[in-house]
Structure 1
């Protein structure tokens, strides 16, 4: 009888204290606007009564947050968020995290670089993250004007110049398959968190502490090139036509991040949805993401 009473108490406690959720928005977005992540935060709070949701604001205002998505180096953003999460008292018993677009690979950077210093990060959901980088930028999120054209031109012609790497976020995960040597040498963010230059065992250990790493690919994505990067796929080196799935890449074969181990143990989850970039029905999210990984 005492055993059953204990189980009932535990269930009631869990229902009354849902696991907190951290959100990191993508390029051309901010943490809190009502028509974007602000609305998604409210959706989560409706679906999971009592849940604490921290939608990350990088900077002192939503304007700074928007600008930093383009111009604050990811290494600085990751450090900023590591400190923010460590000092959030609502997260001290652990949390789940959802990354939107570039926010997904930045969240992975947080997991790998400071996960051992944070409360337990349980499940990470990557919605359209560019984990093997991008080679092409047909759209710039919400920024559809002259600045978007400027961003594209810089990436196409000067992505690996040091000053561009320092000043433009998207350059730090630009991955040129025609020049893998330059990419590995000059990429100031992605090549590091993908263990392209050397093996950082802390990165592997921290990533493998996750309960689940869920990768969501948008099958009609018109923003991310190639869309297979959302599942850690990318172009075969030396050309930009033939695509390799994760399992055929050196990243997987040499297990440079422990992804093979995660896949074999069932912790690396591949999901897809037919929509364009970050377009998904709420019903799909509830059934495929919220119920299995957030409750």
Structure 2
């Protein structure tokens, strides 16, 4: 009888263990320093006692991690992370994932490409650039003509093969004035968005998620356009009029299965006041931790 009682307690303890969490930081940040994502890891551990949290480090040191956010091909980064997560026995029963800024589209690629090896339950995207970027940080402080001139210079270089392979940010630069060049030359974003061809495995793996949560920062001055954080973007052929996800061909043709997820209630659109990645602990606890990380 006593052995049976101890076994029941052990089973209850295992069942009650919180679901692990994987974090992927953004550009200019690192995994583990106290002034960067390391402090957020501690915050989660305090809010969810006993939770196992991995803040991904891309490389052998925080210096390499920082540099790789600019110079390591995202496709190599995704492969690196897939192997790391698949080899961790603590993640074998599944985990939740949170991406920060450019880490959002990279972590989504992990979901799509490695969903057969990994069990990812809820994926939270904080300020991700899922339709890419076409602009400059704080560009509103400059004259419009200057912004357009620099845009054109970057756009000219962004789709050169050597730039695509060596500069991370070029791989999600999206020129709405030349959609064909973007789709043909983008080695990362156009591919994971199924804009080159439709990879049905990407659709299947993305739809395995319990929830795909997209968080947009209403006063974002870093990401342009900020609507990309909800899969919105400029209508093709110009850079003024915006289209929502639901208005896009990506949604209408359901090239990623997002329409299916939306209809099933799996696709969540949240917003919060503030600049890029600026949110309060109270907001995060109420809108992310309680509904998606501890439920």
Q: TM-score, normalised by structure 1?
A: 0.91
Q: Render the CA deviation track for 1:97-130: whole Å, top value 9, x for unaligned.
A: 0000000000000010111112x10000000000
Structural mapping, 1:17-56, within 5 Å: 17-56=17-56
Pairing 1:69–2:69 present: yes
Q: Render the CA deviation track for 1:228-256: whole Å, top value 9, x for unaligned.
A: 00000000000000000000000000000
* Counterpart for residue 207 of structure 2: 208
Shift of 1:137: 2.6
Tell me the SS of whatever aligns to 2:219: coil
Alignment coverage as a number of residue pairs: 278
Shift of 1:156: 3.9
Q: Render the CA deviation track for 1:4-35: whole Å, top value 9, x for unaligned.
A: xxx998765443x1000000000000000101
Structure 2: unaligned runs, 5 residues or longer: 1-7, 139-149
* Counterpart for residue 257 of structure 2: 258
Kept in 1, the 8 Å contact 2:95–2:121? The answer is yes
Q: Render the CA deviation track for 1:167-192: whole Å, top value 9, x for unaligned.
A: 10000000000000000000000000
Rounded to whole Å, the distance in 2 between the matches of 1:153 and 1:60 is: 36
* Counterpart for residue 93 of structure 1: 93
Rounded to whole Å, the distance in 2 between the matches of 1:89 and 1:66 is: 27
Shift of 1:37: 0.5
Structural mapping, 1:238-253, within 5 Å: 238-253=237-252
Structural mapping, 1:176-187, within 5 Å: 176-187=175-186
Q: TM-score, normalised by structure 2?
A: 0.91
- Deviation above 6 Å: which 4+ runs of structure 1? 7-11, 151-154
* Counterpart for residue 84 of structure 1: 84
* Counterpart for residue 274 of structure 1: 273
RMSD value, Cα: 1.9
Shift of 1:90: 1.1
Kept in 2, the 8 Å contact 1:154–1:164? The answer is no
